[in-house]
Amino acid sequence: MTTSAAFSGAISNPTGYQNPIRKLILGLVLLAMTFCASLAFGQTSVPGDTLFAALFHFDATNTQHLIVTGSRFPRAITATLVGAALAVAGALMQALTRNPLASPAILGVNAGAVFAIVCVSTLLVTSSMTLLLWVGLAGAAAAAVLVYSLGSAGGGGPTPVRLVLAGAAITALFVSFTQALLVTNQEGLDSVLFWLAGSVSGRPLDMVLPTLPLILPALMISVLLGRQINLLMSGDDIAKGLGQNVVRLKALLGLLVVCLAGSAVALAGSVGFVGLIVPHMVRGWFGRDHRWVIPGSALVGAILLLAADTLARFIIMPQEIPVGVMTALIGTPFFIVLCRRGLSRG
């Protein structure tokens, strides 16, 4: 009680959202629960005691143990990482552009990474995760720069509609390039298509590991930047007046977005709408203080993607829906409500 009181004293949250620490702990508990559910449920359900046995007393002759550690555990890890990375990327983008509709998928960053990766993997026939990771980052960076400069061309700065349209145009551009590559190289089409649709299955741990040194530090830095982001949100001039180096901060945020979104795409293909909806949900829950919004986004993003991935195994048994399709179907109604509400006010 004393620690949490000290914390809320230090925060002196003006919006009246008390005890964000408690909410974060609740989020962690939920995350652990969805993580376990993701391990337990699927075509063959694994009961709780077997699950624990598989994790702590692994028996290589037990099929259920093999399913849990061999396929579901890496999958749950992938979903957690990708969900957290995309959600934080979305939160940073929405803060950076002061645009409620910004997210890696809408603003074309995902499409850029997808194109770069499809390009390299079909032309060079490589599956080296480290290479694909860097290629994905380069594609994401190129798309981000293109969209931002396109959206802010002309006077008046980047308004939400301009940025979103620029993102859609750049997405269309990269998607048609990707289509062109796939139509001319038909051999790998089927496997690439499932990856394109956004999927967290079939990523063994040694594919996931190379992304860790990138995703985890980027997440940590994003969390630590919360206070600076709060200042930035009050306007460039105010932030400058309060001693903030706005240009450097914006560049750093852009770099973080590219790292997070690019490595998420390299891991899971294009998973849309997580980056869009999660920050909104989190702001409704934690308030507008970015010191809490960013860790909250990481948690809720991971929970959302784990849940969507677990659900995707049941809808059309025995086949699985790609998780990117799931998030798009969940996210679109949300996006539409957001457009209708936001624009009628503004």
Sheet strands (E) in 186-305: none
Segment 325-344, which members bind other proteins (CB under 8 A)? 325, 328-329, 331-332, 335-336, 339-340, 343-344
Residue 100 in the binding site for other proteins (CB under 8 A): no
Q: Measured from the CB atom, is 2 or 344 closer to other proteins?
A: 344
Residue 164 in the binding site for other proteins (CB under 8 A): yes
250/312 Cα distance (integer angstroms): 37
Instruction: Please give the C-alpha separations between residue 57 and each of 60, 62, 199, 206, 240, in angstroms, as whole numbers.
Output: 10, 11, 29, 22, 56
Binding mask 223-262 for other proteins (x = CB under 8 A): ----------------------------------------
- Would you say 170 and 146 are in contact if contact means Cβ atoms under 8 Å apart? yes
Environment class of residue 48 by beta-carbon count within 10 Å: exposed (0-12), middle (13-18) or buried (19+)?
A: exposed
- Taking the CB of residue 146, how many other CB atoms lie within 10 A of it? 20
Binding mask 108-147 for other proteins (x = CB under 8 A): --------------------------------------x-
Instruction: Please give the C-alpha separations between residue 157 and each of 53, 86, 99, 133, in angstroms, as whole numbers.
Output: 57, 25, 12, 32
215/212 Cα distance (integer angstroms): 5
Q: Which of 172, 205, 216, 251 binds other proteins (CB under 8 A)?
A: 172
Q: Measured from the CB atom, is 124 or 189 closer to other proteins?
A: 189
264/345 Cα distance (integer angstroms): 33
Q: Measured from the CB atom, is 134 or 273 closer to other proteins?
A: 273
Residue 200 in the binding site for other proteins (CB under 8 A): no
Give which of 260, 102, 127 is closest to 192, Cα–Cα. Answer: 127
- The length of the chain, given as a count of residues: 346
What's the token pair of residue 297?
């986004």
Q: Which window, 30-38, 117-125, 206-214, 324-332, contacts other proteins (CB under 8 A)?
A: 324-332
Q: Measured from the CB atom, is 201 or 228 closer to other proteins?
A: 201
Q: Which of 33, 123, 180, 209 binds other proteins (CB under 8 A)?
A: 180
Q: Which of 24, 36, 197, 281 binds other proteins (CB under 8 A)?
A: 197
103/80 Cα distance (integer angstroms): 18
Query: CB of 36: closest distance to other proteins in angstroms?
Result: 28
Per residue in 114-131, is it b (16+ CB within 10 Å) or e — as a string?
bbbbbbbbbeeeeeebeb
Q: Measured from the CB atom, is 13 or 103 closer to other proteins?
A: 103
Report the interface residues with other proteins, using CB under 8 A. Answer: 101, 105-106, 146, 149-150, 153-155, 160-162, 164-166, 168-169, 172-173, 175-177, 179-180, 182-184, 186, 189-190, 193-194, 196-197, 272-273, 316, 319, 321-322, 324-325, 328-329, 331-332, 335-336, 339-340, 343-344
